[in-house]
Amino acid sequence: MLFHHLSAPAVAALTPDTPIVFPLAAIEQHGQHLPVWTDTLLTQSLIDRVSARMNDRVVFAPVMWLGNSHHHLDFNGTLSASPRVYLDLLCSLMDNAIEQGFRRIVFINGHGGNDVPAKQATFEVRQKYSTRDDLLFLMTTYWGLGVEPWTCDPSIVQREMGHACEWETSMVLALKPELVGAYSTLPTVEPGNPFRPGVRAWKTKDRTGPGHIGVPNAASAQKGELLLRLFSDALVQWLDRVVAWDGSSWEG
C-alpha cells in the first residue's frame, strides 16, 4: 500500500508491525546518454513492482529524489544534499515514523552515495531508542541483495553495478527508451581500484571523463527487463523476511 494514498486516520489505524519503506534515490548526472532522473526512475519502477506484490503487508512512502550526490557535482544536472544534511534528513524521517508508532523502518536505496548515510541513520536512531527491544531498522540497496544477473543471461558483461553503465542503461532502455541518448559507441570505463577490497575515497571525475563507469555499450532493453525482474524479485523476498520478523529477537 502507498503511504501517500492513506488518510491520517488510515495511517493511525495501521498495525504498528507494518513495515514502512522509505525509497531513496537521487537526481544526478548519468553520463552523456542517460537522464539525471535515472536513479529516481529506476527506484520508482522497482517500488511500483514490489508494492503491487506486497499488497497491504508493507506501506511505501514516496520515492525521495534528493540524495547525497556531492561526488557528482563537477557535472551539471546534479542536485545534492551534503552527507550530514542528508543524514539528519533520514534520521528525521525515522523519528517521524517512530513517533507515529511504526516499529519496522526500512530504507530501500537506489543510489550509491546514499549507502553510507542511510546505514549511519539506522545505527544512530537505534542508539537513540536503545531501551526499546521492539524496533527493526533496515537498509538495503537494490543491487546489493545477491542477484547475479549474468547467471540468467550470459551476455551480461558487468559483474557489479557501475554508473550509467550496462545495467542502468539497460533498465532505462526497458522503461523510457526515448530518454536514452547514443550509448552503443560509448567507451568502456573499468571500475578499477588497485586497493580493493579496501575502500578508496573518490569523486566521479577521478574515475571517468564522460561520467559513466562500466559498459553502457553492452546495454539492451531485453537485459533491462531481466534486471528489473530479478531486482524486484529479490526485494520481495527480502521484504517477506521483514514482515515475518517475530517482533523482538535478533535471529527473527
Residue 194 Cβ, how far from Zn ion at the closest point, in Å? Answer: 24
Which position has the grid cell 523510457? 176
Q: How far are the Cα atoms of 34, 78, 144, 180, 218 from residue 183, in angstroms, in the given order?
A: 9, 20, 25, 8, 9
Q: Which stretch binds Zn ion (CB under 5 A): 31-39, 45-53, 174-182, 238-246?
A: 31-39
Q: How far apart are CA 150 and CA 155, in angstroms?
A: 7
Residue 73 Cβ, how far from Zn ion at the closest point, in Å? Answer: 15
Residue 83 Cβ, how far from Zn ion at the closest point, in Å? Answer: 17
Residue 107 or 137: the one with the smaller Cβ distance to Zn ion is: 107
Residue 102 or 167: the one with the smaller Cβ distance to Zn ion is: 167
- Residue 2 DSSP one-character state: B
- Sorted by sequence, the CB contacts under 8 Å of residue 147 that are 6+ apart come out as 230, 231, 234
Q: Which amino acid is at 252?
A: G
Residue 38 or 44: the one with the smaller Cβ distance to Zn ion is: 38
Does residue number 39 form part of the binding site for Zn ion (CB under 5 A)?
Answer: yes
Residue 158 Cβ, how far from Zn ion at the closest point, in Å? Answer: 13
Residue 19 or 112: the one with the smaller Cβ distance to Zn ion is: 112
Q: How far apart are CA 167 and CA 208, in angstroms?
A: 17
Residue number with the shortest CB distance to Zn ion? 39
Residue 37 or 137: the one with the smaller Cβ distance to Zn ion is: 37
Rounding to the nearest 10 degrees, give the CA dihedral for residues 196, 25, 169, 31: -80
Q: For residue 24, what are the β-bridge partners?
A: 64, 109
Does residue number 166 form part of the binding site for Zn ion (CB under 5 A)?
Answer: no
Q: For residue 140, what are the β-bridge partners?
A: 108
Residue 228 Cβ, how far from Zn ion at the closest point, in Å? Answer: 14
Residue numbers at the binding site for Zn ion (CB under 5 A): 38-39
